[in-house]
Structure formats: structure tokens, C-alpha cells
Amino acid sequence: MKLTPQQQLALDHDGNLLLKACPGSGKTRTIVAKLVKDVEELRGTPFSVACITYTNAAVIEIDTRVAAHLMPDNQINYVVSTIHSFCLHHILRPFASRVAGFSGTMKVLTSERKEFNEIAERAAELVGRYDLRFEDYVRFGGIGLDANGELIGSALEDDMILLAAPHFLRLSAERGFIDFASILYHTLCLLRDDGEVARSVATKFRSFLVDEFQDTTEIQVEILRLIHAEGRSTFFLVGDPAQSIFGFAGARPELIDPFADEIGAKRDLSLSWNFRSSGPVVEQAERLFPRAPAMTSEGKNKVCTEPAHLITTDRTFDAITDEFLPAINRMGLPLGRSAILAKSWAALYPISRGLRDFGVKVVGPGARPYRRSRLFAGLAEQLSAAVVDGHQFNIRQVERAVFSAIQDMSGHSRFDVFGYPGRRTIVELLRRAEDVALATDGVAWLETMADETSAILVRDGWLAPAHRDNLQSSVEEMVADMRHNDIDVDNLSIEDLGMFASPDKALRLMTIHEAKGREFAAVAIIGVREGLMPHYRSTQGEALEAEKRQFYVAVTRAEQLLMYIYERDRYGNPPSRFLGLDGVDIL
């Protein structure tokens, strides 16, 4: 694996390290190289490397890259997961008998499950609230706990959520679920109160690679501190304070340097070469947060001279169709590598629906014609994408979809799906998906594959016979959703389903938070208006800095085309201050 001199210096350091990396600096490549190196040193032993990253998308990317450099048998020597998944599968469940009231088969309450909405609504009712909005569900999903078990995050920003949060946590447990906040808190308690658990974890995992360390919360730092105290693990921490945008979830970038000092980490190495963005885009970013050494454009897009654009409009949708899409075509950029970014889903919903009606393929809020939480949805999308993309499709994504489906139905985490037995099952699923596609399409393909998938999973012992009809029921729910959303179900194609698993064929609509860690050839940032960006309640101090960091993350997603779209409003709010002299200076 070819590395830059900066990346190689980080890789060659054997002790604890805090590596600060600018956007597009190849930090994922560096982490992958470090992970492969550590795994090779542990090959043939019972020990492992833990790579902890912030999102499931990052998990998939890192896991896919690592798998290309290692043999399948090496999977016993490493884990790539989010912090919540790591704590659940490698600490809580193995030691479930030591946690009062905890079940080793407890299911995770994600915001995509229908039970999440039911529990949130009931918790709100108990404090006298009966009309939840979309933002309220988001805040319930952001409930967190600190090291003392006290509420943090979104629960402190809304009086109703603050009152309802204890009910939400209690109701989740009573219904057999564990929420994200409780996963971390129970893990901390186990490590803190039971020395045997901490020693066991530190003994098994000889090194920890932590990505996006700037978004680590206090309780996560405490978990790492307790593992480090055992003196058996090294830590490779990678982050960028300028990209810390998850303060609402409890992220505290000010914890980075003190923890690094506490564990004796080397702190004077950095990655300052940006291999993602053009010179004009890098220049915009440097005006927001100047670096030392300065970030420079060094990749293939270094030769691109397309300037950043500011579009003033009375209607954002018109600016997208009249300016952004034509610019993408003019520059010969792929639609599937283009994105529209906003601070909230609310701003994206009408644009998503409008573009779909306009004939533009989109992936984003309001684009998926059925609920993403439907049991068969994720696996059906992966299988249909495999049919459409053929040999270009990544089988690791199917493995993860199968793992999630089994976990959702049975409550068990079958990690052997990622081994040889699972690969046999998945290869047969892919073959059946292709065979069925020769005879059917759309809903008929969905119905047949639900039956075929259930039969194969039961036959191979991944599911009990009692779950035989679950996927077929899920298809019925998906079809009902599509009819409710006025989708022409009779003309639905396999390609339409696969688009959500292989989104490079469609324009992406995302929140800035969701776009974190991603990159696009073309980016349009909407809502760049005072009162929205920054929010009218966040115009000074740390709140303003947090808004500026969010804007910075949006800017640095772009490779070649960067467009700001300012929509006038009836109140006369001017363009965002981040566009002015104290920002990117494009006004």
C-alpha cells in the first residue's frame, strides 16, 4: 500500500499516537495501513485489533479496504465497528450475566425501527405531549448519558425531551430493547466496577485505532481510559478538531489533547495534504480554519480551476435545476457523485420530491418509496443491486445486510455470517437473486426473493423455522408503503430497488452531518442564510464556532464543483456571514 511521507511517519510510530488530519488527507488509507500492519503482527495468535469509527458507512468503507489486503482467516484478528457496536458485541453481550437486568439477546433500538416511534410517542404522552414533530423524534434519538448516568445531548435542549427521556429509557428496556445511550453507560459501569472485564477486553484487543476522535464523548473517553489503565493496549487516535460537528450528541473536542497527554501519545505528527479537493475548494476551507502547516491541494483535482459559485435565488429548487445540474453536465461530472447538502432533513424533503417528479434520480429523504426500517428492505436493496451491478458489486455489503436481517429477526449476533459458512449462504442468495431476475421483475421479484431468502436462511441454520414468513410480511408492508406514496408499483424495476444500495447512479440529498466522512465531485450547499446558517440562536461563542465547523465540513466534501445557494426570504435575512470577509469571502 503506497503511503505519503506524512502517512508513513504515522505508520512507523510504535507507541500511542494522536494524528491530526485535514479533510481529504488519506486518513482512511492510513488507518487501513495501520490496521493491516497490526493484524499481520498478531496473525496466528488469539489477540485482535479494534478499529472504532463513527458511522456505519465508515465501518463498511474501512472493512472493505482491509479485506482486500488480508486473507479471510485473518478476520479473527480484527474488528471494525462503531463504538456502540463494539461495546455491545465485545463487552456487554459476552459479560451480560454481570449486568443487572440485561439480556444477551437484547435488540438495539435504532431510529429506523417502528418500535422507536412507538416508544418515543408513549414517553411523550407520559409528560403531556401528543403531537410529536420530525425534530422531536430526532432529539429522542440523540439522548445520551454521561459517566455519572446524567442526561446529555439533545435531552438538554428541549424541556419536553428532558422530562420524557427517563420514560424513553425505561420503556425501551421493558420492551426488550437497549438504546445507544444505555449501551455506553452499561459498558462503562462494567469496565469501572469489574476489573476482570477490563482486563479481559484489554488482553484480547492489543491495539485500538480510533477514527474521528474529535467526535468522542466524555463517556467514550472514560471507556478508553479504563482499557488503557490495564497497560496492555496501544492507541492510534486520528481526528480533526475543525470537523467536530456532533456537539448535540455530546462530542467534546476539547478532550482530545488532555487524553493524548494522559496516555503519553505523540502529538506532533499531522496530515496536511488534501488529495480530495481542487485548489479553489481548499482555498475556501483555509479561509475558514487556517492550518499550520497549511492544507494544500495535492491530488488529481489539483489541476481543476473551477471557482466556487454563489447563486442568489427566490427558490432553491430553481437554482438546483437551472444552475447546479447544468454545471454538473458542463463539467462532465457523474450525477451519482454529486450531492445537495443542508443542515436539516426538513429543507431537503420538498427538493427530493420535486426532483423525483422532475425526472431526476435521487437518493435522500422522501426518495425511498417505503420505510427503510422494513425488515426485508435493506437486504432486498443489496440483492437487487448485486443483480444490476454484477461482478462490480461488493459482496461485503450483502454480508452486512444478511447479518442485520438475522439480528433483527432472531435477536442474535451471528458473526459467523462473515466466515466461510456465511459466504456459502450468501453466494447461493446471489445466485438465486440472478435466477429469479431472469423470470420476474419489481414486486414479483421481491415476493419471490423473500420466500427464497427465508428458505435458505432457515435451511442453513441462520434462522429458526418460526421466522419463515417474516420477510414475506415485510414485502407486503413495503408494497403498502409504495402505494401510499403513489408509486407505480406495477412498473417498479429491480434497478429502482438497487439504486438505494448502489447510489452512485443518483443525486444524493443529505444533511451535513450525514455527509461527514464522504466526498463528492460536486456539492451544492443550500440554506446559506443568516438565521439558518448560523442559526439565529447560535451567533456567538462556542455555539457560533460549532456552526462554522459544520459549514466547514460541508465545504470540504467537494472535489471540483462547489456551489452555495442563497434563497431570499420575506424577512430580508442576508446571506450567511460565513460567505463574507470572516468566512470564505465570496460575497
**Is it the case that residue 21 has pLDDT exceeding 80?**
yes
Average pLDDT over residues 525-550: 93
pLDDT tens for 433-453 read 999 989 888 888 989 999 999
CB 74 within 8 A of CB 39: yes
Number of H helices, E strands in the chain: 23, 18
- The pLDDT of residue 194: 92
The whole-model pTM stands at 0.78
- CA 428 distance to own-chain centroid: 29
- Please, what is the Cα angle at 52 between 261 and 523, to 5 degrees? 100
**Is it the case that residue 308 has pLDDT exceeding 80?**
yes
- CA distances (Å), 360 to each of 226, 335, 336, 368, 388, in order? 51, 9, 11, 13, 19
- The pLDDT of residue 410: 84
Please report the sign of the dihedral spanned by the C-alpha atoms of residue 168, residue 510, residue 540, residue 290. Answer: positive
The pLDDT-based confidence of 167 (bands split at 50, 70, 90) is: very high
Average pLDDT over residues 298-318: 97
| CA atoms within a 13 Å half-sphere pointing along the CA-CB vector of 551 | 31
- Mean pLDDT is lowest, of 26-35, 189-198, 363-372, for 363-372
**Is it the case that residue 42 has pLDDT exceeding 60?**
yes
Question: Pick the residue with more confidence: 253 or 211?
Answer: 211
**Is it the case that residue 431 has pLDDT exceeding 80?**
yes
Percent of the chain residues topping a pLDDT of 90: 56
What does the DSSP assignment read for 462-515? Answer: SS-GGGTTHHHHHHHHHHHHHHHTT--GGG--HHHHHTTTSGGGSEEEEEHHHH
Cell numbers representing residue 65 in the block: 479496504
- The pLDDT of residue 214: 92
Q: What does the DSSP 8-state code read for residue 212?
A: S
Q: Locate cell 491541494: which residue?
A: 297
Burial of 387 (C-beta count, 10 Å sphere; 0-12/13-18/19+): buried
Burial of 586 (C-beta count, 10 Å sphere; 0-12/13-18/19+): middle
**In angstroms, rounded to a whole number, what is the distance separating the alpha carbons of residues 302 and 283?**
12
Contacts of 473 (CB under 8 A, 6+ apart): 375
**Is it the case that residue 390 has pLDDT exceeding 80?**
no
Q: Locate cell 428496556: which residue?
A: 173
What does the DSSP assignment read for 562-581? Answer: EEEEEEP-TT---B-GGGST
Q: What does the DSSP 8-state code read for residue 390?
A: G
Question: Pick the residue with more confidence: 495 or 4?
Answer: 4
**Is it the case that residue 105 has pLDDT exceeding 90?**
no
Comparing CA positions, the residue from 394, 380, 398 lying closest to residue 449 is 380
Please state whether beta strands 143-145 and 273-274 pair in parallel, antiparallel, or not at all (unpaired).
unpaired
- The pLDDT of residue 246: 85
- The pLDDT of residue 389: 74
Average pLDDT over residues 344-368: 80
- CA distances (Å), 193 to each of 95, 99, 187, 188, 196, in order? 13, 11, 10, 8, 9
**Is it the case that residue 134 has pLDDT exceeding 80?**
no
